[in-house]
Amino acid sequence: MPVKVDPETGLINLFNDQISYVIQILKNRYPVHRYFGAVLTDATELAPLPSGNHAFAADTQPDFPYSVTSLPLEYSTIGSGDYRQPGYLIETPANQLLPILTYVGMRVTDQPINPDQLPPTVAAGTDVTTLVLHLADTVTGLKLALNYTLFDHSPLILRSTTLTNTGQQPLTVQTLNSLQLDLADDHYDALTFSGTHAHEANPTLAPLRPGIQCQRSLRGTSGPQQQPFMGLARPHATEFSGEVLGTALVWSGNFQAAVEVDQYAHSRLTLGLEPTTFQWQLAAGTSFQSPEAVLAWSDAGFNGLSQVFHDFGNQLQPTLATSPIAINTWESNFFDVNATKVSQLIQQAADLDLEMVVVDDGWFFNRNGENGQLGDWQVDPVKFPQGLRPLADQAHQQGLKFGLWLEPEMITTNSALYREHPDWVLHYQQRAPITARHQLVLDLFQTAVRQHLLTTITGLIETNQLDYLKWDMNRHLTQVGNDWLPSSQQGELYTRYVLGLYTLLNQLRARFPELIIENCSAGGGRLDFGMLAYTNQTWLSDLTDPVDRAKIENGFSYLFPPSCFSTHVSASPNGQNGRFTPLQTRLNLATIGNLGFEMALDTLTPAERQVVMTQIKQAKVWQPRFNNARFYRLTDWRDQPDCQAWLLVTRDQRQALCFYTTGLSSAVKVPTQLPLHYLADQRHYLVHGHSFSGQTLNHVGLTMPPAKQDFESQLLWLQPAE
């Protein structure tokens, strides 16, 4: 196994052919961080850590002549002389914090952690090496395991923390990070992503400064305001070169990512559960496992880092099978759906050679607007007198799949379910409920609630022979409390809600392994690696305008592979921003990812129908070839904010797709050279019938003609010339 241990120095080198992560057990007491980066064949050559005291620091001891104040500790807390952001805060029954825990041993295995209650992060058959460092507190009996799972063929490590209370008294966990990474300097820019509904995944690069820079969510979900991720890049890093590292949490609830620069210009990066909304009562004899954090490194710039995350995401998803090309009823009908309209849509979809029809919101009883009834999930007998099954049968007879929108986590007060079980919602005792979008949130911690939802969803799937579910969540959590947990455990509910969601999704996937589930939270509001483990694709944004949507996709591409992007063609002018865009641009953008449509198909002119059918036919050729392709950004948002240029290259580098758009056209018609960077130099590629070497295309580039009108785009297929 790729772990080298030097008993004399206490150095542990966890490595593969790309990276090393080096830890030192200092004086057999504390694990300290020594190195993370390109592979080191001999970690014993690292210089010793400086000993001696610092001014106003906790005193050193004869058997431990190091100042804890400045040590690069692998996992630390306050109260023992380290005054930086803590990795953990754990209270004794006396309401006193535990000290920095002491190393007691290690274990190496070829098995991943893959905790039962959390998303499975390592696919079966994936080669990994897991290093576990055991720490302990002899007074309380707490055992703490630092888990490091190295992917043997990727520059990626999974970090997590396992707590086990072997003592007689309960302990209170106030803060628990999955990752703490101490770095020797502060010469980094922090990469983060922020946004809001219809404006997701906006990148920001900011130089580190003294103090703390923090990203977090208090909403009960992971976004879209801030993404559970933080990257650190050397100041001159670009899309194509430079050293970058990044960490993302495999978690769909509240999180905190923070980087602190201390008085010695050292940097500490932490990522884990958001501490002000997290508390856990660790009873005697029980354990708690933190979510896993993905830690990746690259010396090939942001594109290099993205490849690591994309590979992780692809192996995380339930399947990489190509999703069917869908038509969704939402933007053409909104709540005004009925049997006649859906039946007509099925025939229109079949005529255009689409592959699936999805009935979005509005199909169930008393649902004609946002204030309509949620929670009972009974088919509206007026809109659908014979139910949905005849429509599903019609779709299947036409060779189409059939899908349905659902918002399972939500309920309204006018529902029968709420009247029967008002205690099933998150609420504060003796307080009036707070609604958002007229909705309350079901308490997924409760087994009865999850069982009811599983039974209800199972009934919908089986009765209507559903092939697809669009799983939506359109509000954040408020009044996160219930009547079931004792007062001392109410602080666990934010965490238990997400664990309940994972349990429900896991049960649904086990029961219906072929079901396609689309993740949605008012768009990309809950796109994270936790949800990626249970869903096939994600609706990235409720904004379908291709100009803004391209920027959103560009932002999400730093972390997530386009195999999970659900991208639909909508009408022009766009219903949200009023922008007119060419049909071909809308088609080209939607072809990157999982192509679908969000428009009234009967409004297409004969010429437009032909364009659409041509693109659909071509997409069916491209999708299986490029679903697992390498995805690269060819321009930098800092230099060209309105230009999006992407390259998808098959794993064998024989074919590629290039998407290019520049926004507004110019009266000065000048072509642009677009170097492609990532083709095989010695291969030859056909572009518009002409053969070019990969070397020429990489360094000189494609010649992109000037746009004739605003918002034009190009989607070029580079085929093998040999």
The DSSP-derived string for 443-470 is -TTSHHHHHHHHHHHHHHHHHHT-SEEE
CB atoms within 10 A of CB 362: 20
Q: Please, are residues 655 and 718 in contact by the beta-carbon 8 Å criterion? A: yes
d(CA 557, CA 503): 28
Asked if pLDDT for residue 272 goes beyond 70, the answer is yes
Taking only the tens place, the pLDDT of each residue in 381-424 is 999 999 999 999 999 999 999 999 999 999 999 999 999 999 99
Q: What is the mean pLDDT of the chain?
A: 97
Alpha helices by DSSP H, listed for 317-369, are 330-333, 339-351
Give which of 42, 275, 251, 260 is closest to 159, Cα–Cα. Answer: 251
List the structure tokens of 8: 């004399």
d(CA 69, CA 75): 13
DSSP tag of 573: S
d(CA 182, CA 87): 11
Backbone angles phi, psi at 309, to 5 degrees: -65, -40
Contacts of 474 (CB under 8 A, 6+ apart): 407, 410, 437, 439, 521, 522
Taking only the tens place, the pLDDT of each residue in 140-162 is 999 999 999 999 999 999 999 99
d(CA 178, CA 639): 35
List the structure tokens of 33: 């961080």
Q: What is the pLDDT of residue 223?
A: 84
Q: Please, are residues 567 and 549 in contact by the beta-carbon 8 Å criterion? A: yes
d(CA 441, CA 628): 36
Q: Reading across the β-sheet that carries 684-687, which strands appear in turn?
A: 630-633, 644-649, 656-661, 713-720, 684-687, 690-693
CB atoms within 10 A of CB 211: 10
Determine which helix (DSSP H) or strand (DSSP E) holds 310, and give its type and residue range: helix 301-316
Identify the three-state secondary structure at position 441. strand
Q: Please, are residues 453 and 471 in contact by the beta-carbon 8 Å criterion? A: no
Could you give the count of Cα atoms lying within 13 Å of 675 in the half-sphere of its Cβ? 12
- Cis preceding linkage at 705, omega within 30: no
Distances in Å between the Cα of 705 and the Cα atoms of 524, 660, 670, 672, 695 are: 33, 11, 7, 7, 21
List the structure tokens of 682: 């010695």
d(CA 715, CA 712): 10
Give which of 300, 188, 205 is closest to 632, Cα–Cα. Answer: 300
Taking only the tens place, the pLDDT of each residue in 557-596 is 999 999 999 999 999 999 999 999 999 999 999 999 999 9
Q: What is the pTM of this model?
A: 0.98
Output the DSSP codes for 502-527.
Answer: HHHHHHHHHH-TT-EEEE-BTBBTT-
The length of the chain is 722
Backbone angles phi, psi at 548, to 5 degrees: -70, -35
Q: Please, are residues 502 and 519 in contact by the beta-carbon 8 Å criterion? A: no
Asked if pLDDT for residue 104 goes beyond 70, the answer is yes
d(CA 278, CA 178): 13
Q: Which residue has the higher pLDDT, 640 or 701?
A: 701
Asked if pLDDT for residue 316 goes beyond 70, the answer is yes
d(CA 560, CA 531): 12
Asked if pLDDT for residue 722 goes beyond 80, the answer is no
Alpha helices by DSSP H, listed for 45-162, are none
List the structure tokens of 557: 């591409």
Residue numbers annotated as active site: 472, 542
The pairing of beta strand 401-406 with beta strand 356-359: parallel
Residue position matching structure tokens 């009925």: 338
Percent of the chain having pLDDT more than 70?
A: 100
* Band of pLDDT at residue 54, cut at 50, 70 and 90: confident
d(CA 132, CA 129): 10
Percent of the chain having pLDDT more than 90?
A: 96
* Band of pLDDT at residue 1, cut at 50, 70 and 90: low
